[in-house]
Amino acid sequence: MERTFAIIKPDAVERRLTGQILGRIEGSGFTIRAMRFEHLTRADAEGFYAVHRGRPFFRALTEFMSSGPCVVLALEAPDAIRKWRDLMGATDPAKAAPGTLRKEFGSSIERNATHGSDAPETAAFELGYFFRGMDLI
């Protein structure tokens, strides 16, 4: 078993897509280990996306991610990191494969509906950023 970290981003929550996305997550065989609504502050978003500091999209990204509530999740499945990235599809919804969440629900590279960890080290950092060990038992 592996765990990964996921976000249903503010664009998807605002468009009332949370239920559909959770259905796709469970329907794809993930166990939801922890989940909550979280309205990030700008500082929360900057800390979470610290690896992107200095990129041209950093300011807009952190502004968007703190613009409304999102849903943060710990997902568990065999090969969860790859499996969740496959279900989300490419970062840019325009390039995402048919049937993926970003293709279906994303509207731009920034407002792309979901986030997922890209490697085991990132998953460990991101899970720890939002959840206490106690939440993940």
91 lines the binding site for ligand CMP (CB under 6 A): yes
Which part of the chain contacts ligand CMP (CB under 6 A), choosing from 14-22, 25-33, 70-78, 105-113?
A: 105-113
| Catalytic status, residue 39 | no
Query: Which is catalytic among the residues 7, 73, 115, 116?
Result: 115
User: Are 81 and 6 spatial neighbours (Cβ–Cβ below 8 Å)?
Assistant: no
Angle ∠(100,103,109) on CA atoms, nearest 5: 120
CB burial class (10 A; 0-12, 13-18, 19+) of residue 35? middle
123 lines the binding site for ligand CMP (CB under 6 A): no
- Residue 79 CB, shortest distance to ligand CMP, in Å, is 18
- Residue 129 CB, shortest distance to ligand CMP, in Å, is 13
Question: For residues 50-72, b (16+ Cβ closer than 10 Å) or e, as one string?
Answer: eeeeeeeebeebbebbbbeebbb
d(CA 119, CA 4): 9
- Residue 61 CB, shortest distance to ligand CMP, in Å, is 5
115 lines the binding site for ligand CMP (CB under 6 A): yes
d(CA 46, CA 67): 13
109 lines the binding site for ligand CMP (CB under 6 A): yes
Q: How far is CA 74 from the centre of its chain?
A: 10
Residue among 45, 96, 112, 127 that touches ligand CMP (CB under 6 A): 112
- Residue 114 CB, shortest distance to ligand CMP, in Å, is 8
Q: By the criterion CB under 6 A, which residues form the site for ligand CMP?
A: 52, 57, 61, 91, 109-110, 112, 115
